[in-house]
């Protein structure tokens, strides 16, 4: 078995409206689902992605209004990288600077050209110019994990997930899955002297990898358990099914199914327009809606 790539990345935010304004109005993603954190229905769970919310394009947030800022460090995902056409970075530099964002780059990494900037909560976002295409974000290029020591995590990626180490430079080591799936790049940043990261607004909560079906996910759960990973039971997230475990460096990993997808409870053209709840929370809709601040969704800047 082999992991084809990233399914989604989930992070923590502060103000929900600022989060929507940034990722729809600035970055140009589509708000594909507005629901709640199933473990804390007093807060939203917001999903962004391409038009259909295809695996490999999905970035999600738990926005807690009064959340403290997290501290980036070891045991965390410290950057999430989107991909655009290789000739589109000048457009993005101009656009982001015009909107008042501090942009680092363009600079080179392993033959790719990219830029880096922060969202309103300090989460590090990169845009990589690679391959054909225009300025539209097509999904993830990959993520960067910060580790005190990288070898045990590298063993997981290569011996269990089927990734290959393709490049290294200094303390950065690149691992890639085969094929052409979105989000197939994992960079390990080995920082033995860095402090441990703390979770909060601006922090990535977990990285989810793809399983094409429930049967494939069940096989992954059996294999990971056999390898001594402390894997959760399968959890129903309504739009996918999930298992979780921590990789050796401490980053929370998830394996999520491609099915059933985001159109399971609303038409594709209506994604993200109204609050959707799982059946077990529907009876509490009135109280849940009263606890949530209404959201105004700006026009998407780029058709995705």
132, pLDDT greater than 90: no
Q: Considering only 75-79, 92-96, 106-110, 134-138, which range has the smallest mean pLDDT?
A: 134-138
Average pLDDT over residues 255-267: 97
Average pLDDT over residues 89-105: 96
The C-alpha atoms of residue 34 and residue 228 are separated, in whole angstroms, by 36
Contact indicator for 291, 44 with CB cutoff of 8 Å: no
Average pLDDT over residues 96-105: 96
Q: List, for residues 213-258, the tens digit of each pLDDT value.
A: 999 999 999 999 999 999 999 999 999 999 999 999 999 999 999 9
Q: What is the pLDDT of residue 301?
A: 55
Q: What is the pLDDT of residue 94?
A: 95
Q: What is the pLDDT of residue 246?
A: 98
Q: List, for residues 34-72, the tens digit of each pLDDT value.
A: 999 999 999 999 999 999 999 999 999 999 998 999 999
In order, the DSSP letters of 1-47 are: ----SEEEEEEEES-HHHHHIIIIIIS--EEEEEEEETTEEEEEEEE
Cβ neighbours around 163 below 10 Å, total: 22
Q: Residue 91: which region, alpha, beta or left (left: phi > 0; alpha: psi -120 to 50)?
A: alpha
CB hemisphere CA count around 302 (13 angstroms): 20
Average pLDDT over residues 119-144: 94
Residue closest to 145 by CA, chosen among 166, 105, 172? 172
The C-alpha atoms of residue 83 and residue 222 are separated, in whole angstroms, by 33
Average pLDDT over residues 264-268: 96
The C-alpha atoms of residue 183 and residue 180 are separated, in whole angstroms, by 9
pLDDT-derived band at 303, boundaries 50, 70, 90: very low
Specify the pairing of strand 172-176 against strand 235-236.
unpaired
Cβ neighbours around 151 below 10 Å, total: 13
Contact indicator for 107, 157 with CB cutoff of 8 Å: no
Q: For residue 272, give Cα distances in angstroms to 35, 51, 225.
A: 9, 10, 36
Q: Residue 54: which region, alpha, beta or left (left: phi > 0; alpha: psi -120 to 50)?
A: beta
Q: What is the pLDDT of residue 138?
A: 87
302, pLDDT greater than 60: no
Q: Name the phi and psi angles at 53, rounded to 5.
A: 70, 45
Q: What is the pLDDT of residue 304?
A: 36
Q: Is CATH 3.10.180.10 the classification given to domain 6-291?
A: yes
Buried b (16+ CB within 10 A) or exposed e, 100-110: ebebebbeebe
Instruction: Using a cut of 0.85, tell me whether the model's pTM lies above it.
Output: yes
Q: Where are the beta strands (DSSP E) in the chain?
A: 6-13, 30-37, 40-49, 58-63, 76-84, 104-109, 112-118, 124-129, 139-147, 164-169, 172-176, 185-190, 204-211, 235-236, 240-246, 252-260
The C-alpha atoms of residue 16 and residue 152 are separated, in whole angstroms, by 36
Cα-only R_g, the chain: 18
The C-alpha atoms of residue 43 and residue 183 are separated, in whole angstroms, by 28
Average pLDDT over residues 269-297: 96
Q: What is the pLDDT of residue 24?
A: 97
For 31, residues 6+ apart whose C-beta sits below 8 A from its C-beta are 20, 23, 24, 46, 47, 48, 271, 272, 297
């Amino acid at each position: 078995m082999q992991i084809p790539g990233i399914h989604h990345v989930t992070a923590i935010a502060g103000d929900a409206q600022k989060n929507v304004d940034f990722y729809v109005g600035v970055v140009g993603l589509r708000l594909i689902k507005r629901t709640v954190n199933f473990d804390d229905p007093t807060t939203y769970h917001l999903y962004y992605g391409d038009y259909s919310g295809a695996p490999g394009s999905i970035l999600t947030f738990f926005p807690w209004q009064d959340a403290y800022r997290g501290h980036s460090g070891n045991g965390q995902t410290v950057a999430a990288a989107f991909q655009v056409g290789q000739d589109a970075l000048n457009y993005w530099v101009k656009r982001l600077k015009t909107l008042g964002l501090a942009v680092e780059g363009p600079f080179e990494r392993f033959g790719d050209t990219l830029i880096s900037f922060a969202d309103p909560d300090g989460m590090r976002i990169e845009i990589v110019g690679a391959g054909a295409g225009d300025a539209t974000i097509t999904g993830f290029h990959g993520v960067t994990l910060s580790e005190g020591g990288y070898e045990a995590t590298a063993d997981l990626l290569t011996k269990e997930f089927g990734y290959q180490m393709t490049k290294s430079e200094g303390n950065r080591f690149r691992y890639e899955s085969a094929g052409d799936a979105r989000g197939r790049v994992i960079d390990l940043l080995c920082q033995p002297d860095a402090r441990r990261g703390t979770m909060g607004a601006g922090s990535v909560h977990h990285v989810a990898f793809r399983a094409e079906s429930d049967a494939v996910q069940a096989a992954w759960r059996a294999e990971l358990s056999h390898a001594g990973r402390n894997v959760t039971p399968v959890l129903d997230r309504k739009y996918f099914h999930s298992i979780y475990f921590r990789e050796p460096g401490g980053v929370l990993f998830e394996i999520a199914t491609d099915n059933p997808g985001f159109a399971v409870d609303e038409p594709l053209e209506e994604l993200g327009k109204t609050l959707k709840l799982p059946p077990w929370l529907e009876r509490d809709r009135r109280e849940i809606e009263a606890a949530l601040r209404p959201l105004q969704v700006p026009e998407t800047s780029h058709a995705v």
